[in-house]
Amino acid sequence: MKTLNDFDFKNKKAIIRVDFNVPLDENFNVTDATRIEAAKPTIDAILAQGGSVILMSHLGRPKGVEEKYSLKHILKTTSEVLAVPVQFASDCIGEEANSAAANLKAGEVLLLENLRFHKEEEAGDVAFAKELASLGDIYVNDAFGTAHRAHASTTIIAQFFPTEKCFGLLLAKEIDSLNKVLKNSEKPVTAVLGGSKVSSKITVIENILDKVDHMIIGGGMTFTFVKALGGKIGDSICEDDKQELALEILRLAKEKGVQIHIPVDVVAADDFSNTANTKIVDVNEIPDGWQGLDAGPKSLANFEKVIMESKTILWNGPLGVFEMESFANGTISLGNYIAASTENGAFSLVGGGDSVAAVKQFGLEDKMSYVSTGGGAMLEMLEGKVLPGIAAILD
């Protein structure tokens, strides 16, 4: 696996695919610079060696050129994070981009305009990728969030750098962290899968059953399993057409010696609202008109025991509707157990939009071994897929 360490960047121009798809407010100010900060170590390392850096990214889902999706809006924040003035080219190909890249001196940084202003980016157009490639000497992919897309800048461009291509520090760390769970894990291994639907996690469950000792199932998925097993779930969310599948997962897990842990009690509410009436009920006895919206105290005590005995922990998905304070306790408690287990020496990997949002919201981010930057990409790796952006560098 080629990384920055395999190259000397002195007097070289590194063209780096970063993921600067950051949120902006109505005045186009960056509201969360995490993704820019995540790319900083790679950029710093290249500049420190006397190289220069050309950054390319997308922002949003523009239909052609749209002012609100211009990367010029993030120029100020990017300069502040990198602590160097960042130049800007108002297109990612063409005369201005070529001229700006050609005149780039050692230690300088150039940000190209939004790749997705050209439909050729998402189409994986070879000619477009070739134009991008002509700007730099070494191609660096540091965008895990888009590594599962075979776009021009994430995958196709790599063919124009047969030997001069590598992973950035962020992408290398993402791959390493996932491999620690999927390939080189210390046992016992526990996967916590939450969220609302079994259907969105089927392939993940099937792929990791061979790699884990325990699987905690929480969130809305719980009720598909409970109903399949004959429990009464009241008005709780449920995928009726996935009940057979839930039973099949339980059967497979038993066959493979994997212990599945499902909540035994829940915080039930008489309305999907933060101000609803609530009560703790047995997961199999949720009354009509009530729905389970968080894991109950007995369930959390069971989960805590499993987490504290684990040496490797994967967390993907919340245990309840944590966006509402009344139903956040399960997710917060789970986060605290994983943090404590991590402090005791376990390796913990958090990934998937909602889990990442939860650890950030509750101040637990620094207490996890690694928090993934790519939701979709991480899920596809957990499903056992080879991501095109990664394959292109390994090729």
- Choosing from 72, 130, 232, 353, the catalytic residue is 353
The reply to whether 59 sits in an annotated binding site is: yes
What distance in Å separates the CA atoms of residue 303 and residue 323, rounded to the nearest whole number? 21
- Choosing from 2, 40, 130, 197, the catalytic residue is 197
Which amino acid is residue 115, in one-letter code?
L
Residue 173 among the catalytic residues? no
The reply to whether 251 sits in an annotated binding site is: no
Which amino acid is residue 151, in one-letter code?
H
The reply to whether 94 sits in an annotated binding site is: no
The reply to whether 35 sits in an annotated binding site is: yes
What distance in Å separates the CA atoms of residue 157 and residue 173, rounded to the nearest whole number? 22
The reply to whether 292 sits in an annotated binding site is: yes
- Choosing from 72, 130, 311, 376, the catalytic residue is 376
Contact 137, 13 (CB under 8 A): yes
Alpha-helical runs (H) found in the chain: 34-48, 75-82, 95-102, 119-123, 126-133, 169-182, 202-208, 221-228, 243-256, 297-308, 329-343, 353-361, 375-382, 388-394
- Choosing from 17, 35, 227, 367, the catalytic residue is 35
Residue 376 among the catalytic residues? yes
Q: Which two tokens stand for residue 261?
A: 């842990």
The reply to whether 17 sits in an annotated binding site is: no
The reply to whether 363 sits in an annotated binding site is: no
The reply to whether 394 sits in an annotated binding site is: no
Q: Cβ neighbours of residue 238 under 8 Å, at least 6 residues apart?
A: 220, 223, 224, 227
Contact 59, 116 (CB under 8 A): yes
Question: How many CB atoms are closer than 10 A to CB 162?
Answer: 8
Residue 384 among the catalytic residues? no
The reply to whether 299 sits in an annotated binding site is: no
Q: Cβ neighbours of residue 284 under 8 Å, at least 6 residues apart?
A: 226, 229, 230, 231, 232
Residue 17 among the catalytic residues? no
Q: Cβ neighbours of residue 382 under 8 Å, at least 6 residues apart?
A: 178, 182, 204, 207, 208, 314, 316, 351
Residue 163 sits at φ, ψ, to 5 deg, of -120, -25
What distance in Å separates the CA atoms of residue 65 and residue 306, rounded to the nearest whole number? 51
Contact 78, 57 (CB under 8 A): no
Residues marked as binding for ATP? 201, 292, 323, 352-355
- Residues annotated within the binding site are 19-21, 35, 58-61, 116, 149, 201, 292, 323, 352-355
* Annotation: binding site for substrate: 19-21, 35, 58-61, 116, 149
Catalytic residues: 35, 197, 353, 376
